Amino acid sequence: CKRSNGKAMKQRLLVVANRLPVSAVRRGEDSWSLEISAGGLVSALLGVKDVDAKWIGWAGVNVPDEVGQRALTKALDEKRCIPVFLDEEIVHQYYNGYCNNILWPLFHYLGLPQEDRLATTRSFQSQFDAYKRANQMFADVVNQHYQEGDVVWCHDYHLMFLPKCLKEYNSSMKVGWFLHTPFPSSEIHRTLPSRSELLRSVLAADLVGFHTYDYARHFVSACTRILGLEGTPEGVEDQGRLTRVAAFPIGIDSDRFKRALELPAVKEHINELTQRFAGRKVMLGVDRLDMIKGIPQKILAFEKFLEENPTWRDKVVLLQIAVPTRTDVPEYQKLTSQVHEIVGRINGRFGTLTAVPIHHLDRSLDFHALCALYAVTDVALVTSLRDGMNLVSYEFVACQGEKRGVLILSEFAGAAQSLGAGALLVNPWNITEVAASIGYALNMPADEREKRHRHNYAHVTTHTAQDWAETFVSELNDTVVEAQLRTRQ
Ligand code: ADQ
C-alpha cells in the first residue's frame, strides 16, 4: 500500500476483459438496470488483499446514442465498472469473427475455418483488422482512466493485442496478460496468418500467465520458433528485455459453495433431488454447449456403458445441463441438434414408461440449484476435448460433503494437472475407456472414494480463486521492480 496524508491507499487494479461481469438491460432513454454476475472471477478479484479493483470491458449491448452511453457509464460506475462501447459491425467482425471463429477453435486444436479458402483468407484479414481496432478501443479507455502506479491486468484471447497498445501509450504501465484457454502447441499456432503479430503484442506485457506449465511452454516455443527469440527459464527475451512467462492455475471461491450448502433452501432442494432419484445413482455433466466440451462423446460413452451393463439400466441416470452459447453460429446450432438427436435415440432405446436414462437440459441453472445438483451427484463426468482449466470439476469437488462422489475427468482439461491424483483421468475420444471408467466409478469402494475425494478437496479449498488473483498481481508488481533494477545495473 502507498501512504497519502497518513492514510493507507490501496493499489488500483484495472481488470480488462472482453465482457464486464454485468448484464445490462435498457429501461428507458437514460435508464438502465444492471445485474452483477457473481462468477468466480468477480469473487477472485474482490478478494485480492490491499487492492482496489475496477473492471473495464464491453457491457454486451449495442448503445448507439450518446444519452444512452452517458446513462450506462454512470450506472456502471456505481458497480466499479467502466464500459467500452463497441458497435454492431465491430462486434460481428472482432468478437463473432476473429475471437470466436478463429482464435477459440484454433487454441482448442480444432484448426482454422476450412470453408471457402479464398473467402476465409479475405474475411480473415478484415476480421483481424477489426480485432486490432477493438483492442485499440479498449486501450483508449484504459488510458483515459489510468493513474500512475495502477496495475493493468488484461484477460484472455480477445485482448492479445492490448498489451502492445497500452505500452505504446505509456511504456511504464504495469501490464499483465492472462489466457483462460489452452495455448496450443507451436505447430498449431504457426498456422495462424497473424501468428507473429499476435505473439509480439502479447510480449509487450511485463507478465504473461497461463493455467498450466504446458501452455506456458507452448507459448515460449512459439516465440522461439516463430519469432526466433530466446526462451529462458523466466520467460522470453528480446533485445535484453524480458517478458516473464509463468503458470498461474486458477481456482474457485470454495467458501461461496460451502456457504450455499448451508442455506435452508439449498438443503431442501438437496432433499427433493435425493427423493426424486432414490434408488438410482446420479451422474452429472455441466457445460456450456460448446464443441470443446465433448458433450456428444460423453453421451455416447454413457450409451456404451448402458449397452454393456444391462443391470445398471434402471439404476443410473445422467443429468446433462448444457447452457447454450453462441446460438447464432451455425456450428453451434448443428452441435445442439446433434446432441438432441443422440439423447433422443438413447432415451428411446433404454427408457421405460416411467424413467429415462438421460435428462438433458438446454439451459443455465442458478447458483443454488447448481450447488444442490453437485451435492447429490455420485459421478461427475467432464469430457472436454480441450479446456483451459475447467472449473466445473472444482465446483463439483467443493460441493461433495458426505457423498464422496467420483470425478471422471478428461486428460485434456487443465484441471487434470491439479485434480489428476483424485480423479479418474480419461481420453474423451476413447469411448470404450470412458464407458469402462463409468463402471469403475459407480462400483468404487467407499475407502477409495474417500481417499480420492480428500486429495481433490484439499486442492480445491487451498488453491482458491483469491490466491490465484493475489499471486498474479504480486508477481506482476515484483516483475516490474526486477526489470527496473536490471535496467539500472
Ligand atoms: P468456460 O469454458 O466457461 O471458461 P469452466 O471453467 O467450466 O468453462 O467454467 C464454466 C462456469 O460456468 C462454471 O462456473 C459453471 O458453474 C458455469 N456453468 C456452466 N454450465 C452451466 C449451467 N448449465 N448452468 C449454470 N452454470 C453453468 C473458460 C475456459 C475454462 C477455464 C475458465 C476460467 O474455457 O477452461 O477454466 O475460463 O479460466
What is the mean pLDDT for each group of 10 consecutive residues in the chain (489 residues)?
A: 54 95 92 81 73 93 95 95 96 92 95 66 85 98 96 97 98 97 97 96 98 98 97 94 97 93 98 97 96 97 98 96 87 93 97 93 93 98 97 96 93 97 97 98 97 97 94 95 83
Report pLDDT digits (tens) over 350-367: 999 888 999 999 998 999
Q: How far is the CA of 475 from the centre of ligand 1 (A)?
A: 26
Q: Whose CA is nearest to atom 38 of ligand 1?
A: 180
Q: How far is the CA of 388 from the centre of ligand 1 (A)?
A: 10
- Given this model, what pLDDT does residue 8 score? 55
Q: How far is the CA of 287 from the centre of ligand 1 (A)?
A: 7
Residue to mutate, 15, 288, 371, ligand 1, most ligand atoms under 8 Å from C-beta: 288
Cα 448 from chain centroid?
30
Whether 286 lines ligand 1, by a CB cut-off of 6 Å, is yes
Between helix 264-276 and helix 254-261 the angle, nearest 10°, is 80
Please state, in angstroms and rounded to a whole number, the distance separating the CA atoms of residues 307 and 395: 30
Q: How far is the CA of 467 from the centre of ligand 1 (A)?
A: 19
Q: What is the ipTM of this complex?
A: 0.98
Bridge-partner residues for 151, per DSSP?
13, 174
Report pLDDT digits (tens) over 401-422: 888 999 999 999 999 999 999 9
Report pLDDT digits (tens) over 153-205: 999 999 999 999 999 999 999 999 999 999 999 999 999 999 999 999 999 99
Please state, in angstroms and rounded to a whole number, the distance separating the CA atoms of residues 142 and 156: 16
Q: How far is the CA of 238 from the centre of ligand 1 (A)?
A: 35
Atom of ligand 1 nearest to the CA of 413: 35
**Cα Rg of the chain (Å, integer):** 23
- Given this model, what pLDDT does residue 488 score? 76
- Given this model, what pLDDT does residue 38 score? 63
The alpha carbon torsion through 60, 62, 66, 69 (nearest 10 deg) reads: -10
Of 16, 160, 136, nearest to 86 by C-alpha is 136
- Given this model, what pLDDT does residue 4 score? 44
Please state, in angstroms and rounded to a whole number, the distance separating the CA atoms of residues 424 and 450: 14
Whether 370 lines ligand 1, by a CB cut-off of 6 Å, is yes
Residues 6+ apart with CB under 8 A from 124: 102, 193
C-alpha cell at 252: 474457485
- Given this model, what pLDDT does residue 423 score? 98
Whether 250 lines ligand 1, by a CB cut-off of 6 Å, is yes
Q: Whose CA is nearest to atom 8 of ligand 1?
A: 390
C-alpha cell at 437: 471408467
Whether 390 lines ligand 1, by a CB cut-off of 6 Å, is yes
The amino acid occupying position 267 is: K
Q: What are phi and psi of 16, to 5 degrees?
A: -110, 120
Atom of ligand 1 nearest to the CA of 321: 23
Q: How far is the CA of 332 from the centre of ligand 1 (A)?
A: 17
CB 220 within 8 A of CB 212: no
> Residue 113: exposed, middle, or buried by beta-carbon count in 10 A (0-12, 13-18, 19+)?
middle
Whether 395 lines ligand 1, by a CB cut-off of 6 Å, is yes
Q: Whose CA is nearest to atom 19 of ligand 1?
A: 287
The alpha carbon torsion through 339, 342, 348, 350 (nearest 10 deg) reads: -110
Please state, in angstroms and rounded to a whole number, the distance separating the CA atoms of residues 229 and 384: 33
- Given this model, what pLDDT does residue 266 score? 98
Atom of ligand 1 nearest to the CA of 41: 33
Please state, in angstroms and rounded to a whole number, the distance separating the CA atoms of residues 383 and 348: 23
Residue to mutate, 215, 327, 389, ligand 1, most ligand atoms under 8 Å from C-beta: 389
Q: What are phi and psi of 179, to 5 degrees?
A: -105, 125
The DSSP secondary structure of 386-411, one letter per residue, reads: SBSS-HHHHHHHHT-SSS--EEEEET
Please state, in angstroms and rounded to a whole number, the distance separating the CA atoms of residues 93 and 107: 18
If you search the block for the grid coordinates 463497441, which residue do you land on? 86
- Given this model, what pLDDT does residue 112 score? 87
Q: How far is the CA of 15 from the centre of ligand 1 (A)?
A: 19
